[in-house]
Structure 1
Amino acid sequence: MNLPTTHSIGTPGQPWGEAEKALWRSRQTRKRSYATDVLGVVERLRGCFDVAEYGRLDYPPESFPLFAIRSREWRDDLPCALVTGGVHGYETSGVHGALQFVDLRAADYAGRVNLLVVPCVSPWAYERIHRWNPLAIDPNRSFRDDSPAPESAALMSLVAPLRKRMLVHIDLHETTDSDESEFRPALAARDGKAFEPEGIPDGFYLVDDAEHPQPAFQRAIIAAVAKVTHIAPADAKGEIIGSRVVAPGVIEYELKKLGLCAGITDAPYKTTTEVYPDSPRTTPGQCNAAQVAAVCAALDYALAARS
């Protein structure tokens, strides 16, 4: 893969201003339909689940309703679990894996846990297959008070009443070749920094919470996903994307400090999945199935540990 050394927008070493962000935004084109791919599926799921609009993103001339899917038999005596996808809109299996879990497996957990599933946090980015929102902001570094990203703020508002009741939060992501060829160079240019390639791991991995690690929980998810797709190995430095591998297929981040989605609740069991869809060893169907397997393994482990 030929990697760019500089980005086509901006002046090397100088952060973007509004003119550069406007130029970047003008180059983003709609490539797929949130209404068809996501809202159409959500509408079909209304027959078995409660569906509610929890916010709306207004990016004139467009407006995107945001939807959450809940267990129909919600009970105050049950623990709660949060599944999020599409925080980065370009990460396809995060969105479709979340929807596939609701469609195929969520009913298995009826009466055992209250499920809250938000399949597509960032619909503008989903349609443009991008990491950022139209403000050139990464929602997954913006889960903090007074968030500059409307996507992040809306999700935090939705989850706030349940933050202390969550047993599990699993946030579904992908690491793609375009991270290295497009998104990280753009990030470096936006911030006036030099782009330093890190490499793309070939396989699935997880990001645990460095402040409250749950290694057995992570191992259980890795074991389940390994039956569906391959697990990313450590590189020659014993790292994955610049972070030390603490167990096969597991690295750690300080979730809340970095403003990451997986840090928005007090759930004792939390993780971020990372599927690698560009591998010649996997298919889109396997990527979706890996996300579903990860969600089910997370729920199964947490519920067993609680009993």
Structure 2
Amino acid sequence: MTMARTQLMVNGTDVVFCGPDDAYLNQLDDGSEAELRLFASELLSGGAVVLDLGANIGVTSTLIALDTPGSRVIAVEAGPATVDMLRDNLATNGISNVEVVHAAVSNSNGRVHFHESSAFGHVTDDPHAIDIESVTVASLVERLGLDRVDLIKIDVEGLEPDVIEGCSDILQRLQPIVWMELNTWTLLMRGHDPIAAMTAIVERFGEVHRVRRSGGPLLDRVGDDHTPAIEIARTLIHDNIVRHHSWEDLVLVPPGRTLDLSLSRPVAEDDTDLLQRTIATMQNSYSWKITTPLRVGARWWNTRRARAGDGSSSTST
């Protein structure tokens, strides 16, 4: 396995991540997880507990731990090699408020077979794959003695419905907000009927919100209190395929829990500092500097064309 290294700037601190040289690591930049970080910073307070299910090499856990120093983050990852990289990244960056659990999260406790492929491993029926422990969220909470869970992030390559099924007691008792990846393709690959799976998930929650990445409000509620769960599910799956290339994040609010309206305010207002840092990093990069002549030339050419257009129009009138 070829390894790679990338460095990010988080709240003025350099953070280093090492992992497989693949698309996941290579797409990381200073704006990584911007929406989740913004949401978590608004949602979490002192002593907050976060479950990062499908923690991968620890990017989300590290960023939340740095953004909310008083929080307790439980990073759960199934892949043995990935867990080693996760622990190494936490140690390298001096992160002390993240605990690592090596297990797959599902709807039952026991053992499962796991196929570890780069940074995108998954549970499989292949008997020759790695044998690892499987836990439910409910059993994990009991094992760790947690009396609160504020946020659960779920990214488990198509087994999200199984994870939700295994935490129904926690949803009722502790009422955590859930940040979940929706990927129709991975749901199909894990044998789920996407509409049926999403209908079952929607029925467990009071509100379902899309996470927007194109400006405007951060959260966009799908349906309302009177919309049937199957209609919300059909809308989600249709738009996930047609508009979002089978990949987007959802925020799920359990019954009886209210979401602070400030969490839905425009990203452009909330995320100004993060965007400015990202722009500054980009402008100081080598690629930005070597392409400066191209941008200057383009501005000169566009200005010349605009003036020529103004001149021709004034002559003809």
Query: Do the structures match in fold with TM over 0.5?
Result: no
Bigger relative CO (Cα 8 Å, ≥ 6 apart) = 1
TM-score, normalisation: structure 1? 0.31
Larger radius of gyration: 2
Higher helix share: 2
